Amino acid sequence: MNDQTLDVCETFTSLQGESSYAGMGCFFIRLAGCNLRCTYCDSRYAFEGPRHTVSVASLLAAARAAQVPLIEVTGGEPLLQSATPQLLQGLSRIPAKTVLVETNGSLDIAGIPEAVVAIVDVKCPDSGAAGSFDSANLERLRPHDEIKFVISSRADYDWACRFVNTHADVWRTAAVHFSPVVTAGFRAEELAAWIVEDALPVRLQLQLHRILEMR
């Protein structure tokens, strides 16, 4: 297969701040471009800032050299780029590495290699991108994949609960995370209390990298 190139925003090594892998060292490949404009986006520079054209081979070499157990491809929205499956396939062949890809849920995840963990967002109403989720992705989830709802308000929480309850059979195949957007009017403690009160089969997810003020 001929080597392809990708539009890359940045690469860096840090701690994984989200998902079931939070707290582990991770090499991040942040691809440029996104098809959504979420109100709470914390990486607008991925679609507004400069980008670099980088070969898949170069990215694979950098990932092999990283002395951490995780590799994550994120964005922006990584599935927008046609060379992303080639990158993910190559990353999945690196020994002793777990590979994650974070996607906003609006695009078909069927092309993600079996060995790669998909972290799939379902956008709640306050995101400004409600209705963007490709519902067919529910049937494409594998047992090791994970789902994330970013919650901005009680209305978002109620919406996410209805979504989870409507698709209860699907959620048995993937870990489900509720993550708060911490603003002046909404606290993580509120979301935690609601989850406990309703005995939801979900995990409270805090952005560890924000708490630690890391990249």
Q: What is the pLDDT of residues 159-194, one digit of tens each?
A: 999 999 898 776 677 899 999 997 757 889 999 999
Contacts of 128 (CB under 8 A, 6+ apart): 37, 38, 39
pTM of the model: 0.93
CATH code, domain carrying 170 = 3.20.20.70
The whole-angstrom separation of Cα 112 and Cα 70 is 17
Number of domains within the chain: 1
State pLDDT tens for residues 2-28. Answer: 579 999 999 999 999 999 999 999 999
Euclidean distance between CA atoms 22 and 103, whole angstroms:
17
Strand order in the sheet with 5-15: 52-55, 5-15, 25-31, 70-74, 98-103, 117-121, 146-151, 175-180, 203-204
Domain that holds residue 14: 5-211
Instruction: Specify burial of residue 152 (Cβ count, 10 A radius: 0-12, 13-18, 19+).
Output: buried
